[in-house]
A = this chain, B = another copy of it.
């Protein structure tokens, strides 16, 4: 499970690099990067800015509650790529501040995230909500950029892999 927490961090670095590519694409094509931040895949889906904020919120909420900590609260007020990259860095910093030992007993910890009407076993919350929700927003962010013509591909999403040979 801690390997999945580490993976959240890896994907957050990936997301930051995707935003760099979004900025470069906007610069190269003579439009404001905010056009991409406001883009959506459907009128009633969240725009890219919100997708990035949700990736961060999901990762920090999951690590916090499974470590028995009070989750951090964000104003979600970011408006620019620079601000979103700071938010991503802060999220990575928060996740990294939690030691592996703090997760002891996570599977059976009863978690009731703030604002939720129900409680879960930690293991159910993690695999059935936190991980799929994290990837939901991560892939949707990727898909918005891809849909809008940013030159990114699957390898940008997967990132470097630790091959043995």
Contact = CB atoms under 8 A, between A and B. Distances in A.
Instruction: List the 6 shortest-distance A-B pairs measured between CB atoms, nearest first.
Output: A135-B135, A118-B163, A139-B139, A3-B127, A41-B147, A7-B127
- What's the interface size class on A, roughly? 35 or more
Nearest to A121: B164
Given A119-B163, A136-B139, 12 more contacts: A3-B123, A3-B127, A6-B127, A41-B143, A110-B164, A119-B165, A120-B163, A133-B158, A136-B142, A136-B154, A136-B158, A147-B147
Contact of A139 (B128, B143, B147, B163): B143
A42 B140 contact: no
Given A139-B139, A140-B143, A4 B127 contact: yes
For the complex formed by this chain, how many copies does it contain in all?
Answer: 2
